[in-house]
């Protein structure tokens, strides 16, 4: 497994369902990505998705918009869904801790089609911010432990 990658994109949602691309963001300890509607205390402060997983899904016919699955951070060169809860990631000058792999949807969403299982159930990753700091597109992201 590759232990270093890059932050491919950062998305902040000021309102439900409205993600905006950003060149940078601030990850606040015990809160998440500042100005994102989904931030706050708890286990799912920040969402991550591997760019390679997204590209594979698109090649296999998955339909998604330019905002992917609505994740906050898209990572390249690290398959984040292969990490285990508790794994720490250094991203920019902040530190994240993986808290959950996958998401159980209450009802089929737009990513659940043709009787296939939603990719969010196995490929989406959630993390808590354990050290505040700025994060920028192009920053290195590194698996610190827990692989």
Domain harbouring 39, CATH code: 2.40.33.20
* Residue 41 neighbours by CB under 8 Å, 6+ apart: 30, 31
pLDDT of residue 147: 47
Confidence category of residue 124, pLDDT binned at 50, 70, 90: confident
* Single pTM value for the model: 0.84
27 lies in which domain range?
Answer: 4-145
Tokens of 76: 């390249």
Per the structure, how many domains does the chain have?
1
Report which secondary-structure segment, H or E, holds 71: none
pLDDT of residue 121: 63
């Amino acid at each position: 497994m590759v232990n270093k990658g890059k932050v491919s994109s950062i998305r902040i949602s000021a309102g439900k369902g409205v993600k905006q691309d950003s060149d940078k963001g601030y990850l606040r300890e015990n809160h998440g990505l500042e100005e994102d509607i989904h931030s706050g205390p708890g286990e799912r402060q920040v969402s991550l998705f591997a760019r390679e997983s997204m590209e594979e899904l698109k090649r296999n016919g998955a339909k998604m918009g330019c905002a992917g699955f609505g994740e906050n951070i898209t990572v390249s060169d690290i398959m984040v869904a292969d990490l285990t809860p508790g794994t720490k990631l250094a991203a920019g000058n902040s530190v994240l801790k993986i808290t959950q792999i996958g998401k159980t949807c209450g009802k089929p969403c737009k990513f659940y089609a043709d009787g296939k299982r939603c990719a969010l159930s196995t490929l989406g990753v959630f993390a808590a911010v354990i050290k505040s700091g700025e994060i920028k597109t192009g920053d290195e992201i590194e698996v610190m432990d827990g692989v």
